[in-house]
Structure 1
Amino acid sequence: MEAFAEFLENIDNPQHRERTEEVLAWVFSEFPSLKPKFAWKQPMFTDHDTFIIGFSLSKQHLAVAPEEAGINHFSDEIVQAGYSHTKGLMRIPWNSQVDFSLLKKMIDFNITDKADCSTFWRK
C-alpha cells in the first residue's frame, strides 16, 4: 500500500478514504502478483507491465476501470450488482457495498485475457 500512501492521505472525506483503502488493500491481498502503480492521478494494478485495473474517485462514487473489454464482459453483472457504468468504468456509489466477488471476476478476466498482451492498454 506504500505506493498509494500519498494518494490516500490526500482524500479529504474520511469515509471515502476508508473505502478506497479497503478496496486497494483487498486487491493487494487477493492478487499479490499484481504490481501497484500510480499513474494518470489514479491507483492501478498491472501484470507484466500491462494494465489490469484502475480506480478513481468522484464525489458520488468510487470508479473502477477494467478497460472497455471488462465492462462489456460484465455489463449485466454490473447492473445486477446495482452499479452504473460507462463504456470504460463502473461506478460504486459511496453508500453502496462493494461487490468483491464481481471485482475478483473482473480482475481474473483481465489477467487471463491479457496474458499474452505486450502493450499497456488493449489495442
Structure 2
Amino acid sequence: MEVFGEFLERMPNPQHRARTEEVLGWVRKRFPNLLPKVAWNQPMYTDHGTFIIGFSVAKQHLAVAPERAGIVRFTDDIVQAGYDHSKELVRIPWDRPVDFSLLENMIEFNILDKADCSTFWRK
C-alpha cells in the first residue's frame, strides 16, 4: 500500500479512506501480478503497461473505472448490484457494500481482453 499512501493520507473522511484502502488492498491481494500506481491523481492497476482498473473518490461514492468496454460488458451486473454508472465508471455509494465478485469479473475481463494490448488505453 506504500504506492497509495500519499493518496490515502489526503482523504479527509476516515471511513472513506478505510473503504478505499480495503478495496485497493483486496485488488492487490487477489491480483498480485498487477502493478499498482498513481496517475492523474488516481490509484490504478496496470498489467504489462496497459490500464486494467482505476479508482477515484467523490463525496458520495467510490468510483471504479474499468474503461468503457468493461462498463458495456457488465452493464446488467452493475445495475443488478444497485450501482449507478456512466460510460466510463461505476459509482459505489460509501454506505453500500462493495460487490467484490463484480469487481473481480471486471478486472479478469480487462486482463484477458487486453492481453495483447500494447497501449495504455484501448483504441
TM range (shorter): over 0.9
User: How far off is 1:90 after superposition?
Assistant: 0.2
Q: 1:1-123, aligned counterparts within 5 Å?
A: 1-123=1-123
Matches of 1:112 and 1:2, distance apart in 2: 27
3-state SS, counterpart of residue 3 of structure 2: helix
TM-score normalized with structure 1 length: 1.00
The letter for the 2-side match of 1:103 is L
Deviation at 1:25, TM superposition (A): 0.2
C-alpha distance in 2 between matches for 1:105 and 1:119: 22
* 2:59 aligned partner, one-letter code: K
CA RMSD of aligned residues (A): 0.3
SS at 1:17 equivalent: helix
- TM-superposed deviation, 1:101: 0.3
Counterparts of 2:68 and 2:37, CA distance in 1:
20
Q: Which amino acid aligns with 2:88?
A: G
State the shift of 1:92 in Å. 0.1
Query: Share of identical aligned residues, percent?
Result: 72
> Structure 2: 5+ residue runs without aligned partners?
none
Tell me, what secondary structure is at the counterpart of 1:108?
A: helix
Q: How far is 1:94 from its partner? A: 0.2
The alpha-carbon deviation at position 118 of structure 1 amounts to 0.1
Q: Secondary structure at the match of 1:109?
A: helix
3-state SS of 1:91 partner: strand
Q: What TM-score, normalized to structure 2?
A: 1.00
What amino acid is aligned across from residue 97 of structure 1 in structure 2?
P
Question: Across the two proteins, how many residue pairs are aligned to each other?
Answer: 123
Give the ranges of 4+ consecutive aligned residues of structure 1 lying more than 4 Å apart after TM superposition: none
How far has the Cα of 1:70 moved from its partner?
0.1
Tell me the secondary structure at the aligned position of residue 43 of structure 2. strand
